[in-house]
């Protein structure tokens, strides 16, 4: 992507990259997993420090400035978001040396049709993760837990949650020797302020 001096093109590129990340899916069993399409989500932990983990973007809506991530309602990140909604997300595409940092506020999608539709669209093998006997991070004696059934049953539905991230800022950086570029897009004042930054 060559945005030159066009901030609008850079913003479009940032949303396109986030959209592609949301569109990435794992390859068939036995094939190597893709390394693109994963993003890191940071929250504030109970000790007042950053908590960072890799998540899968499920949906990107540039017009609404909204990102969605599916998670287990029992996970620590859900409690962290409920305690402090400020989050950050990082996408890095090594092939183009483009980094996109997103800041915003997160909340859980409330019960209702949208949450039901997200669950209905979740394939059986993914639904199985929500049937684990305890929350993610629970100590276990044997790492080889039995795999829960991967059918389309409703078991585990009560543990399924959708994190909705309302985007406040996007910081886009492309590293290209001799032509590094960095741009900031900020909606925190109610309207978009876009500017070039020193990389």
pLDDT digits (tens, 9 = 90+) for 120-142: 998 888 888 898 888 898 898 88
CA 193 to chain centre: 23
Instruction: Pick the more confident residue, 112 or 128.
Output: 112
Whether residue 138 is contained in a domain is answered as no
Integer angstrom CA distances of residue 164 from 78, 120, 141, 167: 11, 17, 34, 9
Whether residue 86 is contained in a domain is answered as yes
Confidence (pTM): 0.88
* Percent of the chain scoring above 90 in pLDDT: 70
Distance, in Å, from the CA atom of 78 to the CA atom of 80, rounded to the nearest integer, reads 5
Whether residue 29 is contained in a domain is answered as no
Say what the pLDDT of residue 28 is. 38
Whether residue 28 is contained in a domain is answered as no
Q: Domain range for residue 19?
A: 7-23+34-133+148-196
Report residue 35's pLDDT band, with 50, 70 and 90 as the boundaries: very low
Count of structural domains, the chain: 1
Say what the pLDDT of residue 29 is. 41
Say what the pLDDT of residue 36 is. 46
Whether residue 165 is contained in a domain is answered as yes
Tell me which range, 10-19, 117-126, 138-147, 153-162, is most confidently predicted by mean pLDDT: 10-19
For the cut 70, the answer to whether the pLDDT of residue 159 exceeds it is yes
Whether residue 2 is contained in a domain is answered as no
Torsion of the alpha carbons at 161, 27, 124 and 135, rounded to the nearest 10: -40
For the cut 70, the answer to whether the pLDDT of residue 179 exceeds it is yes
Whether residue 143 is contained in a domain is answered as no
Element (H, E) at 11: helix 7-23
Whether residue 141 is contained in a domain is answered as no
What CATH number did the domain enclosing 50 receive? 2.30.110.10
For the cut 80, the answer to whether the pLDDT of residue 151 exceeds it is no
């Amino acid at each position: 992507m060559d945005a030159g001096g066009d901030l609008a093109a850079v913003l479009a590129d940032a949303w396109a990259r986030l959209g592609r990340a949301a569109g990435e899916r794992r390859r068939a069993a036995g094939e190597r997993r893709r390394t693109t399409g994963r993003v890191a989500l940071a929250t504030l932990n109970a000790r007042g420090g950053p908590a960072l983990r890799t998540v899968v973007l499920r949906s990107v809506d540039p017009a609404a400035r909204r990102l969605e991530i599916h998670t287990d309602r029992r996970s620590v990140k859900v409690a962290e978001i409920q305690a402090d909604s400020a989050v950050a997300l990082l996408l890095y595409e090594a092939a183009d040396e483009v980094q996109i940092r997103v800041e915003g506020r997160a909340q859980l999608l409330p019960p209702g049709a949208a949450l039901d539709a997200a669950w209905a669209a979740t394939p059986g093998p993914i639904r199985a993760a929500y049937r684990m006997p305890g929350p993610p991070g629970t100590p276990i004696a044997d790492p080889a837990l039995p795999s829960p059934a991967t059918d389309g049953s409703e078991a585990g539905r009560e543990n399924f949650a959708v994190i909705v991230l309302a985007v406040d800022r996007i910081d886009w950086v492309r590293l290209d020797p001799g032509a590094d570029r960095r741009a900031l897009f900020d909606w925190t004042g109610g309207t978009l302020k876009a500017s070039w930054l020193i990389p």
